Amino acid sequence: MKPRLFFVFSSFCLLPAFTFCEMTPDHALEMLKEGNQRYIENRLIHPNRSEERRKEVKKDQRPFAAILACSDSRVAPEIVFDQGLGDLFTVRVAGNVLGAIELESIEYAALYLHSNLIVVMGHENCGAVKAVLDGNSYAIETIASYIQPAIDLSKKQKGNQLKNAIQDNVQNVVNELKSHPIFLKLIKEKKIDVVGAYYDFKSGQVVIL
C-alpha cells in the first residue's frame, strides 16, 4: 500500500507533501476538521506513520499547521486530528499560554516551515486555568500571570466560569498572535490564519471558536 504521503493534500493539489503546493489556511483548517471527524467516529487512518514517511521527513519538514496546545496528556494534537509525522508543528505548554519561547517557536513554523494555519487549542476542565481560578496557582506563577486576564474577563460573563475562562484564555492568545507584526503581515497576504479551538473530552470534538 502506498503511504498516505501522496494523498494528504490530494483534495487540493495532487502533489507530494514536500512539493510547494498552494495550501491555503482554509484548506489546512479543513484537513484538521476532517481528521478530527475521523477521530470522533473512530475511523482513524493513522496517516504518514510508515517507514517511508520517516525517511521522507529526515531532512526536511513542511507541517501544514502549527498547534499551540496544553501539555495535558489527554490532548495530543496528532491523535485528535488524526495526523502523522511532519504534518503538525506542535507547541505544548500548560494552559496553552503564549510566552516568549512559545511565540518564537510559532514564528519559526510560520516563517521557515511555511505552516499555513495556527491553532490555539484549549480543552475542557483545563487544570492550569482551574488552578488560577481557584487561587491555587502555587508552582505555576508564571503561567498563572498569562492566564489571569482570562479569569478577570470570565467573572463578567454568564454561564460556566471555568469554561468561559478557558475559552477566553484561548481567544486572548489568538488576539495576541493576530496583532503581532509578523503574523499580521502574513494574514493580510492570506498566507496564514490564526484560529482558536476548544477540545471536548467526552465527544472528542474540537470546536473552532
What domains sit in the chain, N to C, each tagged with a CATH number?
23-208 (3.40.1050.10)
Residue 23's pLDDT is 86
Rg of the chain over CA atoms, in angstroms?
17
Dihedral sign, Cα of residue 112, residue 80, residue 92, residue 196: positive
CA distance 5 to 21: 14
Write out the H or E segment, with its range, that includes residue 144: helix 141-154
C-alpha cell at 7: 494523498
CA distance 56 to 103: 27
Cβ distance 114 to 192 under 8 Å?
no
| CB half-sphere exposure, 171, CA atoms < 13 A | 14
Residue 31's pLDDT is 97
Kindly list the averaged pLDDT for each block of 10 residues, start to end, along the chain of length 209: 38 41 88 98 95 92 97 98 97 98 98 97 98 95 98 96 98 98 97 98 98
Query: Rounded to two decimals, what is the model's pTM?
Result: 0.89
